Structure 1
Amino acid sequence: MAATVWVLLVLLGGAAYIGWRLHAYPGGWAYAFGDAYAAERRDLAEARRGVRELERAARRELSEAKGKVRGEETRYRERIRGAEQRLKELQNPGRGELQQTLGELTLYQHVLRHRSEDIPLAGLKVRFESSRHKYYIKVTRPNGRVRDVHYPRTQPEDAVRRFAVRIENAVADENDFLTRRKGLIADTETELIHARANTLSQEAAREALARVTARHSADDRLPAARAELDAARGRWHAETGHLPRT
């Protein structure tokens, strides 16, 4: 079975090659395969190869130049998007990233959520307390309002203590963030202005692309190679009465 498949593949490959050869060098078997017309086939093949090589080189150079333009445009947009996103997060930080949940309290980067209420971290005072039957995390807002959240004694005391400390540290981080926030916003706004104005890399890439395009337009090698291919096709046509493909 495997041998039969290989035979079929070889036969199909051979048929495809013969078909390509007859199409590339039209006029009949003798013109496509005969020794008498080897020089004519070589003449046509060399002319085709000259055009292909020049076209391939031009496409590669043009593609690289266009790729650099696209790359610089992408980096430009990414710089702007990054600065815009950072500015948005500074102006409207929201809850921020989730830090930890324990019982009815969920700690985020900028708020402490109790049940369905978001309590801003800025200025909070946090204290761990315990009684005979319960543990408490007492949260006091800057206006003096207090929220007691209790945990049963079945909850490990150390876990509740560590969570209270983590809230305290988050409060300190938030207070520090708010102290620096105005300056951070100003710095990011400046960064965004510079990102939008900095088009030098894009302009350089576009200028390089324009130079490549202009050089290709002025280069007479490809038109000359195409003219030679047309001449070789004409010579083949004169010999066989069939005009070969380019």
Structure 2
Amino acid sequence: MGPVRWILMVVLVVGGTVLWVMLRYPGGWRYAFSPDCTDHRQDLDAARGRLRGLERAAGRERDAARAEIAAAERVHQDRVGRARTHLARLKDPGRGVSKSSLGESLRLYEHALGVTVDGRTAEHPLSEVSVLDD
């Protein structure tokens, strides 16, 4: 590398540093480089550090709250799904297991009564069956 390139490289680095400092401490050259404003720059740096810390803490709290919301929504959806399944079982419990029979024509299941007449079988839910004993 020739001396011109080295000089150009140094100028670019120094210029970039000056620009970066000027952007960090707005208000002009005096506020960015004056020894009179050193305390103010340090205070500004400390305040920025505190702000970054608070922003990180707020981000962690926000993420934790979102995770809690997602977990609560999953629990709610699970409960709703179980309730729907339970309701579907209540609406249509099926016939259930066989409890007893009276010959081949009547079979009592857990939730239904099976009647066989002339080779045809019909099942009736117990909630719809009434028996009269005369």
> Structure 1-normalised TM-score?
0.26
Q: Which has the higher contact order (CA 8 A, sep 6+)?
A: 1
Structure having the higher Rg: 2
TM-score (norm 2): 0.41
